[in-house]
Amino acid sequence: MIDEEFRRRYPNLAREIEENLMSLKIDGIRSSIEEAEKAANIEHYEPTVIDFLRRCETEEEGLEVIEYLEKRGEISREYAAKLKIQLLTKGIRSFGPKKEPGYYYRFFGYKDEED
């Protein structure tokens, strides 16, 4: 996997790569820069299609969400097509882990009403 020149020049990095010491699991894929930027803006947060998809249990539910938002004009036909391809080829969890009830309270640091 790693050639000798790389190993000689960067022995510690080569060891980390080979031993997989520093790895990060990626749970979702953003196919739109605009959607990713919206998701990063926590001061004026508005849920995106990805947020709605992360609430879905099945690919069928995801397809309904995409078609509904496309029909309402909230996402373009082209973006809907990309999302459908991703959904059908990589599955509903390719958009990220499932968002459970209370996600935003925890994410934005609010206390639950029970606390």
Q: What is the DSSP string of 62-91?
A: HHHHHHHHHHTTSS-HHHHHHHHHHHHHH-
Residue 82 exposure: Cα atoms within 13 Å on the Cβ side: 12
**CB 86 within 8 Å of CB 94:** yes
Q: Which of 6-10, 19-23, 91-95 has the highest mean pLDDT?
A: 91-95
Report d(CA 77, CA 48) in Å as an integer: 15
Averaged pLDDT score across all residues of the chain: 81
Number of helices followed by number of strands (H, E) in the chain? 7, 0
pTM score > 0.85 for this model? no
